[in-house]
Amino acid sequence: MEISITDDVVNIKGQRQNKSEVSGEHYFAQECYWGAFSRSYILPVAVESEKAVAQLKDGILTITIPKLEKAKTKLIEIKAE
């Protein structure tokens, strides 16, 4: 599995292997759950991609990406001469 973050998009690519052989004699239709796959997700906010962490546990992929801290507004005092 490969995970990449570019600007505001997370791309996940991978390939599933067919581990068991099932005879087709008892099926009217059967979907294919193996082979190559790719998903792309647009992120709603700017993120710090360098601090991203991915974990795969019990077949569930969790990707944690912290938000990018926006620069806080700084008030500037005007000096009159």
Q: What CATH number did the domain enclosing 6 receive?
A: 2.60.40.790
Please state the rounded mean pLDDT for residues 23-44.
78
Is residue 47 domain-resident? Answer: yes
**Residue in the block written with tokens 């997700």:** 41
Is residue 74 domain-resident? Answer: no
pLDDT at 75: 84
Total domains in the chain come to 1
pLDDT at 33: 72
Is residue 39 domain-resident? Answer: yes
Q: How far, in Å, CA of 41 to CA of 38, rounded? A: 10
Is residue 81 domain-resident? Answer: no
Which residue range forms the structural domain that includes residue 55? 2-20+27-64
Is residue 76 domain-resident? Answer: no
- DSSP one-letter string for 10-58: EEEEEEE---S---GGG-S------EEEEEEEE-SS-B-GGG-EEEEET
Check if the beta carbon of residue 5 is closer than 8 Å to that of residue 17: no
Is residue 36 domain-resident? Answer: yes
Is residue 10 domain-resident? Answer: yes
Is residue 31 domain-resident? Answer: yes
Confidence of residue 4 (pLDDT cuts 50, 70, 90): very high
Q: Is the pLDDT of residue 22 over 70?
A: no
